Amino acid sequence: MNFLEYIWLIPMYPLTGAVLMLLFGRKLEHGHKNSVVSAICPGMVGIAFLHAVGAVIQLTSTPNHVFEKVMYVWVAGLPFHTSAGTLVRFQADFGYLLDPLSAVMVLVVTGVGFLIHVYSIGYMGHEGGFYRFFGYLNLFMFNMLTLVLANNYVLLFVGWEGVGLCSYLLIGFYFHKKSASDAGKKAFVVNRIGDAAFILGMFYIFATFGTVNFQHVTEAAREGGIVAPFFLMTLLLFIGATGKSAQIPLYVWLPDAMEGPTPVSALIHAATMVTAGVYMVARSNALFQLAPTTMNIVAAIGAATAIFAASIGLVQNDIKRVLAYSTVSQLGYMFLACGVGAFWVGIFHVQTHAFFKALLFLGSGSVIHAMSGEQDMRKMGALRSKIPWTFGTMAVGWIAISGIPPLAGFWSKDEILWQTYSSPLGSKLLYGIGLLTAGMTAFYMSRLMFMTFFGKSRVSHEAEHHLHESPMVMVGPLAALAVLSAVGGLWFKQLEQWLEPVFEPVKGIVHNEATASGQIEYILMGVSIGVAAAGIALAYHFFVAKPETADNLEASLKPIHTLLLNKYYVDEVYSAVFVDGPVMGKQLGSALSKFDAVVVDGGVNGAGWVTRGTSTLSMLWDSWVIDGAVRALGFFTKVLSFPMRMIQTGFVQNYALVIVLGVIVLGYYFIR
Amino acid sequence: MISITHYLFLSTALLTIGVVGVLTRRNMVIILMSVELILNAVNINLVAFSHYWGGVHGQVFAIFIIADAAAEVAVGLGLLIALFRNKEVVNADQVDLLKW
Amino acid sequence: MLDQIFFYLFATVILASAILCVTARNAVHSAIFLIGTLLGVAGLYLLLTAEFLAGVQVILYVGGIMVLFLFVIMLVNIDQSLRENIFSHQWRVGMGAVVLLAAELGWFVTKGGVSMPARTPDTTSQLGNVQQVGDVIFQSYLLPFEIASILLLVAMVGAVVLAKKRI
């Protein structure tokens, strides 16, 4: 079977699952047929994964490793002139592109997605709304696959919006809880801000290149010689990416998104959706390369976000919150990599991060499941003997994220640090920030592990009775992800070669090669390992060896601790400025909504009213004037005929009289 | 001397009397008799012209008129009898069905 | 001289009888007066040397048609009350029209009478009037004669059919 030709089926499998859930889910739920749901939805993702594997294998045998298939032309517009003066038509296809970059993404999305679906069978088994969860999850897979397989910005944006919607639906899955529904709303609204910027960026792209197709834009940009506001264009795209991938300033939704079920956090907010921003930036690498200022901004924001989120994660007590801030921090690393020009490294980190972050989230879900819903780490401890499989797999993820070789996280994170140090777009300052963040990452992850699995047990008595290892259906994916986290970094050389054609340098930009020598690279490698080990050791000291020191430090640095615990009060500031604030807040929103209701809707209603009015006039004209004319004819006939009728009396002598009168007249006429 | 105009005036007078009878009387028999008066007026006219201008053509025409008048009277009176059988009256203004 | 006297005599008879005929209340009286008119006309024909026509007039008109009239009057006539209106409702209009007609016809006659030639008695012919009429009828007007006979036949059949009780 030609997997490539049928590439459009890959998103369709999970869509089928979602539609089936939409149509039949309720009945299945009532019939207690959870097994059917469990078979359909993960099954669909599994089939999508197999298909994707087949397609990628077939891709390796195509020339240039590029396969594009346009299903049909979705939007076709009228011709107009670009800023360069050429005549173009807007055309957005419903088309799929499989090249090295999207191949990596599709394999990660379907593979990790499949494992998470399987895990969810066990995790969500006792919840209500089983079919709804899987329906939304499949819908998410559909949208994500559309996003990564799209061949143009518009279709990508369709998937972009779709995953935003599914994120909202899944964060607010427990919609009875106000905090959950609020979190869902927050995610959607913050995302929207980024989307607005993304759309503006797309307009710039079209105005400059006359097309939104990835291949064409990239080729045109690589050709060079185009004068366009690349800075603004790429800045707008990047703002869109910050919304979706939770960077400063639009990251605030991601910690709140932990209100959703843990598999959701694993899939959407660790492995796949949040990486969509990175994917989009990598896809537009030709444009970014033409705007060095934006690259600097990207790297700076990436680094700032990384250290900022890591610092918050140091003191959080909710196990999922730590992981959430960790995700934000790691996403900062990915953008740092893209910002210094090492796009393939950013994608590499996407892949490794997907493995170990999904593993850590699912593991934490297993912990929470064992703790009967308890998420506060201060109430955990010494769990490693109780839930050994969970501990073992999470330990692999912990080592991976800390950057200890030869696990996956080491290869990607180290490469990022090396590129930051050596690339002409990087700087020592950025390297320093990255290094410090790596240390903090190791520290807080170790803190998490030690507080949860080591030390003295602080578990409450009721929870202790229910402590049990998770079922096989949950542990299986954990084990699979652990294996992937262990070996997932070893193919970095092949990955770099595989992704090379996608990230070709653009003509006209001077690219200096890495200015440092190979020796420095190994030195830096050693430094990063040392920093990671130092972080782990520090955490061990604070949380296992001498737990009192942690409390003493906390007491002495109370203000800093409070600041970090309250996330730098960013949410409060946003709320004060944008929600309740005098200019940007609710007043503006309600004013705009009034404007919409009165002016815009009024305009529309007015159009309807005008139509009604003119048609009423028309009706009046028709019924009075035109029908009146017709009826007048009849009326006049009646009026005229009335005297005429009287002539016919039936009285023959009258007729005789008329004859005589006629004779008189005619006689006079003829014989005068 | 009796010129033709005398006869013409006579004929005209007889004609007008006949027309008066046709237009004015209610009894249909008398209407028919007035029609006879009119025909006779015409006959006088014809015969007078025939006399004053020579030739008998006028008289022949008058003979035909008399024959015609006979036929007409026969049919007319037959109609009258048929009408009388249905309506029991012979007044013209009570038979106003020749309309509409 | 003599013809003047006879003319005026006959004219008076004709006109008086005609007026009485039209204004009589009783239908039988009306019929009798009509007979008088017809006899007067016959006399006028004699003055106009139309002997055959005079004879035909008396025989046909008086002897045939008036008898028919009288029979029908006797068949249809009902008792007439004295107060019954004998004139129709349109008598005023009718009289007006008739006056107009009379005026117009009189005007025609006076206008045209100037051009009428004087009497030229026809003495060229040796034949009697009957023969003259017969010659003309059976030579020039043969076709109308035949048609007139058919007409009379049709009228007869029609009258019989019309007057039957059951067809």
What is the spatial distance between Cα B51 and Cα A237, in angstroms, rounded to a whole number? 130
Q: pLDDT, tens digit, for every residue of B47-97? A: 999 888 878 899 999 999 999 999 999 999 998 888 888 887 778 878 777
**Chain A contact for B99 (CB, 8 A cutoff):** yes
CB atoms within 10 A of CB A345: 31
The reply to whether C116 touches chain B by the CB within 8 Å rule is yes
CB A382 within 8 A of CB A457: yes
pLDDT of B38 reads 96
What pLDDT is stored for residue A508 in this prediction? 59
Q: How confident is the model at residue A475 (pLDDT cuts 50, 70, 90)?
A: confident
Confidence of residue A642 (pLDDT cuts 50, 70, 90): confident
For Cα atoms A273, A404, A400, give the angle at the middle one, nearest 5 degrees: 30
Q: Is the pLDDT of residue A510 over 60?
A: no
Residue C167 confidence class, pLDDT cut points 50, 70, 90: low
pLDDT of residue B69: 95
A266 class by beta-carbon count within 10 Å (0-12 exposed, 13-18 middle, 19+ buried): buried
pLDDT at A625 over 90: no
Query: Per-residue DSSP letters for chain B?
Result: ---HHHHHHHHHHHHHHHHHHHHHB-BHHHHHHHHHHHHHHHHHHHHHHHHHH-SSHHHHHHHHHHHHHHHHHHHHHHHHHHHHHHHS--BGGG---S--
Token digits of residue B11:
């004929």
Q: What is the pLDDT of residue C118?
A: 63
pLDDT of residue A85: 67
Alpha-carbon distance C54 to nearest alpha carbon in chain B (angstroms): 10
Closest Cα partner for A21 from A141, A167, A122? A141
Helices in A621-651 by DSSP H: which ranges? 627-647
A34-59 and A9-30 are packed helices; what angle lies between their axes, rounded to 10 degrees? Answer: 170
- Higher-pLDDT residue of A374 and A103 is A103
| Higher local confidence (pLDDT), A509 or B3 | B3
* pLDDT grade for A127, boundaries at 50, 70 and 90: confident
Give yes or no for C100 touching A (CB within 8 A): yes
Higher pLDDT, A564 or A95: A95
CA distances from A157 to A11, A67, A268 (A): 15, 20, 17
Q: Is C57 on the interface with B (CB under 8 A)?
A: yes
Higher pLDDT, A521 or A441: A441
Say if residue A403's pLDDT is above 80. Answer: yes
The chain C residue lying nearest B77, using CA atoms, is C72
How distant, in Å, are the alpha carbons of A10, A590, A598 from that of A601?
Answer: 41, 15, 6
**Which chain A residues touch C101 with a CB distance below 8 Å?**
660, 663-664
In total, chain A counts a number of residues equal to 672
Subunits in contact with chain B (3 or more CB pairs closer than 8 Å): A, C
Amino acid at position B66, single letter: I
- Identify the H or E element spanning A71: strand A67-81
Q: What is the DSSP letter of A1?
A: -
Q: Any residues with CB less than 8 A from the CB of C83 and at least 6 apart, and which?
A: none
Contact B38, B16 (CB under 8 A): no
Q: Tell me which DSSP letter residue A568 carries.
A: G
Chain A contact set for B31 (CB, 8 A):
653
Asked if C103 has any chain B CB less than 8 Å from its own CB, the reply is no
Q: What is the per-residue pLDDT for C79?
A: 63
* A484 membership: H or E segment, kind and range: helix A472-487
Kindly calculate the radius of gyration of chain B based on its CA atoms and give it in whole angstroms: 17
Q: What's the whole-model pTM score?
A: 0.65
Between CA A394 and CA A454 the distance in angstroms is 13
Domains of chain B (ranges; CATH) run 4-88 (1.10.287.3510)
Mean pLDDT calculated for residue range A12-16: 90
**How far apart (Å, rounded) are the C-alpha atoms in residues A621 and A124?**
68
Closest partner residue to A671 (CB to CB) among C100, C101, C108 is: C108
Which of A646, A653, A654, A658 should we substitute to test contact with B (largest number of B Cβ atoms within 10 Å)? Answer: A653
pLDDT digits (tens, 9 = 90+) for C10-35: 999 999 999 999 998 888 999 999 99
Query: Which structure tokens are listed for A50?
Result: 């197999």
- Mean per-residue pLDDT, A444-466: 81
Question: What integer pLDDT is reported at residue A8 of this predicted model?
Answer: 85
What is the arithmetic mean of pLDDT over A661-671?
90
Q: ∠ CA(A347), CA(A262), CA(A271), 5° rounding? A: 5
Cβ contact (<8 Å) for A653 and C104? no
Q: How far is C162 from chain B (nearest CA, A)?
A: 5
Phi-psi region of C85 (alpha: psi -120 to 50; beta: other; left: phi over 0): beta
Q: How high is the pLDDT of residue C125?
A: 67
Judge: A657–C101 Cβ closer than 8 Å, yes or no. Answer: no
Question: What's the token pair of residue B24?
Answer: 């004015």
How many angstroms separate the CA atoms of A119 and A112, rounded?
11
Helix, strand, or coil (residue A310)? helix
Task: With cut-offs at 50, 70 and 90, classify the pLDDT of residue A406.
Answer: confident
Give yes or no for C90 touching B (CB within 8 A).
yes
What would the mean pLDDT of A254-283 be, rounded to a whole number? 86
What is the pLDDT, as a whole number, of residue A93?
Answer: 83
List chain B residues with CB under 8 Å of C151.
67-68, 71
Mean of the pLDDT values across residues A609-636?
89
Q: Which of C2, C9, C65 to mutate to test binding with chain B, by most B CBs within 10 Å of its CB?
A: C65
Contact B68 C151 (CB under 8 A): yes
> Between chains, do A650 and B99 touch, taking CB under 8 Å as contact?
yes
Per CB-CB distance under 8 Å, the chain A contacts of C104 are 664, 667-668
Asked if the model's pLDDT at residue A517 lies above 80, the reply is: no
B interface mutation test: which of C13, C51, C72 has the most B CBs within 10 A?
C72
- The answer to whether the CB atoms of A667 and C108 lie below 8 A apart is yes
Distance from CA of B79 to the nearest CA of A (A): 14
Mean pLDDT for the stretch of residues A182-204 = 90
pLDDT band per the 50, 70, 90 thresholds, residue A606: confident
Residue A644, chain B, CB below 8 Å: the answer is no
Distance from CA of A648 to the nearest CA of B (A): 6
Q: What is the mean pLDDT of residues A241-270?
A: 87
**Mean per-residue pLDDT of chain A:** 85
What is the pLDDT, as a whole number, of residue C116?
67
Q: Does B65 touch chain C (CB under 8 A)?
A: no
Q: Are A114 and A45 in contact (CB under 8 A)?
A: yes
CA pair distance A30, A594, nearest whole angstrom: 44
Confidence tier at C83 by pLDDT (50, 70, 90) = low
Q: Is C100 on the interface with B (CB under 8 A)?
A: no
* pLDDT > 70? residue A468: yes
Verify whether the Cβ–Cβ distance A664 to C94 is below 8 Å.
no
Distance from the B46 Cα atom to the nearest Cα atom in chain C, whole angstroms: 10
pLDDT for the residue numbered B18: 95
- Average of pLDDT values for A462-480? 82
pLDDT of residue C107 exceeding 70, the answer is yes
Report CA Rg, chain C.
Answer: 20
With cut-offs at 50, 70 and 90, classify the pLDDT of residue C40. Answer: very high
* pLDDT value at residue B71: 95
CB contact (8 A) between residue C113 and residue B37: no
Instruction: Determine the residue type at C60.
Output: L
B79 burial via Cβ count (<10 Å: 0-12, 13-18, 19+): middle
Q: Could you tell me whether strands A87-98 and A67-81 are parallel, antiparallel, or unpaired per DSSP bridges?
A: antiparallel
- Considering only CB atoms, A653 lies closest to which of B92, B97, B99, namely B92
The CA distance from B31 to the nearest CA of chain A, in Å, is 9
Question: CA–CA separation, A108 vs C96, rounded Å?
Answer: 120
Share of chain A above pLDDT 70, in %: 97
- Judge whether A46 and A114 are in contact, CB under 8 Å: yes
Spell out which residues of chain A touch residue C94, defining contact as CB-CB under 8 Å.
653, 657, 660
Q: Tell me the average pLDDT across A406-420.
A: 87
What distance lies between CA C48 and its chain's CA centroid?
A: 16
Q: How far is C84 from C151, CA to CA, in rounded Å?
A: 38
The distance of B48 to chain C (nearest Cα, Å) reads: 7
pLDDT of A645 > 60? The answer is yes
Counting one residue from A and one from C, how many pairs have CB atoms under 8 Å apart?
Answer: 24
Predicted pLDDT at A83: 64
Q: Is the pLDDT of residue A318 over 70?
A: yes
**pLDDT above 70: percentage of residues in chain C:** 88
Say yes or no: B33 contacts chain A, CB-CB below 8 A.
no
> Mean pLDDT throughout A322-344?
90
Max mean pLDDT among A170-174, A450-454, A538-542, C82-86 falls in: A170-174
Residue A361 pLDDT level (bands cut at 50, 70, 90): very high
Asked if A652's CB is within 8 angstroms of B95's CB, the reply is yes
Chain position carrying tokens 């869902």: A184
Pick the more confident residue, A507 or A246.
A246
